[in-house]
Chain A
Amino acid sequence: NAGVTQTPKFRVLKTGQSMTLLCAQDMNHEYMYWYRQDPGMGLRLIHYSVGEGTTAKGEVPDGYNVSRLKKQNFLLGLESAAPSQTSVYFCASSLGYASTDTQYFGPGTRLTVL
């Protein structure tokens, strides 16, 4: 099992460009999450999904969109990147909801917006 994978691992964008981060899991988990990690701050939830075809806003959703067309994939989109979106992005998945179940994290994507 690959667990949770993320592509790409690194990306540099110019302000205003768009991109999509792909997360895939092979554990048949219902729940999937996108987090961002910034220096001096704890992980913050951007969006999450409770199953195929569902998405919901987390604590910092502005500037991001997500889709969960297939159970195993969760896509994070930046329509018009801004320097404030420079961060490390982590995808995670869990069988039950994260507050009461174990989360499995992907390796992270380091995004720089110039």
Chain B
Amino acid sequence: KNEVEQSPQNLTAQEGEFITINCSYSVGISALHWLQQHPGGGIVSLFMLSSGKKKHGRLIATINIQEKHSSLHITASHPRDSAVYICAVGTPRFGDVYNTDKLIFGTGTRLQVFP
């Protein structure tokens, strides 16, 4: 079983719909990240959170540490939101000479929003 699981793998929506993408993880984490990968391939960091909720425009990210689960919501979806959304968690990297955490990435959720 992967340490970071995202659902659904693929999602289609009509413009204006409310979107929810889920991320579950099985390791202890320092932080959770949501990233967006555009159809052209570029990757942009959307949120980093370790508790509670963050909002940026029409995007909302929540995390429940006890349940090891995070959700990314998109309100009033638009075709320009079409992208792959990636969840990543920071977790200890044991034996690392620089004492850094490692990021474990999910495989992504592909979202298509149609007009």
Contacts and interface: CB of A to CB of B under 8 A. Distances in A.
Nearest to B29: A99
A88 B43 CA distance: 12
Interface size class of B (residues with CB under 8 A): 20 to 34
Contacts of A44: 105
Interface residues of A, number: 26
Contact of A42 (B45, B48, B50, B107): B107
Interface in B53-110: 86, 88, 90-91, 96-98, 100-108
A31 B10 CA distance: 33
B102 A42 contact: no
A104 interface: yes
Interface string A69-101: 000000000000000000010101000011111
A34 interface: no
A54 B96 CA distance: 13
B42 interface: yes
A88 B41 contact: yes
A45 B102 contact: yes
A5 to B, nearest CB: 12
A56 interface: yes
Interface of B: 4, 30-31, 33, 41-45, 48, 50, 86, 88, 90-91, 96-98, 100-108
Given A40-B107, A43-B105, A59-B102, 7 more contacts: A42-B108, A50-B100, A58-B102, A99-B31, A107-B42, A108-B42, A108-B43
